[in-house]
Amino acid sequence: MDISDNAVKIKERCKEKVHPNNRWGSFHPRQCHAKIWKHGYCKIHHPDTVRIRQEAKEKRWEEEKENNPILLLQKANKQIEILEAEIKKKDKMIKELEEGIEKHRDITLVYDSGIPEADAELYKLISK
């Protein structure tokens, strides 16, 4: 085997730098050993293939995330908090309306009494 043959084989390899999984390999990247498929990359490291794999991984993650019981529980708890806040607002509005109705009843009772002092009291209540 000639040195020039070895140089040709190196040029026919993927140009991506990879890190081996052994203990010291992570500090010493090396060139991928796979043959060139397109544009100087092997099928694993070609940017289009990497993008497609990444999109598929993200799609799977989103599906898992939608069905994750913990996240579903968090969504339900947030919805419960929102509904409880709305209930408190409605209760407050109902209480204010009831107080307004009571004031109106008091005024109508005083007004219907036909007593001049009561009419003066009504004027004071209305003027507030």
- State how far the Cα of 54 lies from the Cα of 33, in Å rounded to an integer: 22
**Mean pLDDT score, 72-91:** 94
Q: Are 82 and 73 in contact (CB under 8 A)?
A: no
Cα(46)–Cα(32) distance, rounded to whole angstroms?
12
Q: Is pLDDT larger for residue 78 or for residue 98?
A: 78
Residue where the block lists tokens 């109106």? 104
Q: Read off the pLDDT of each residue in 86-111 and give the average, rounded to a whole number.
A: 77
* Spatial separation of the C-alpha atoms in residues 64 and 122, rounded to whole Å: 67
**Using CA atoms, how far apart are residues 10 and 36, in angstroms rounded to an integer?**
10
Helix (H) or strand (E) segment spanning residue 112? helix 69-112
In percent, the amount of the chain with pLDDT more than 90 equals: 30
Helices and strands (DSSP H and E) totals, the chain: 4, 2
Contact 78, 65 (CB under 8 A): no
Q: What angle do the packed helices 69-112 and 116-127 form, to 10 degrees? A: 140
pLDDT tens digit sequence for 15-74: 888 888 777 766 788 888 888 888 889 999 999 999 999 999 999 988 888 888 888 899
pLDDT in tens, 112-128: 556 666 666 666 666 55
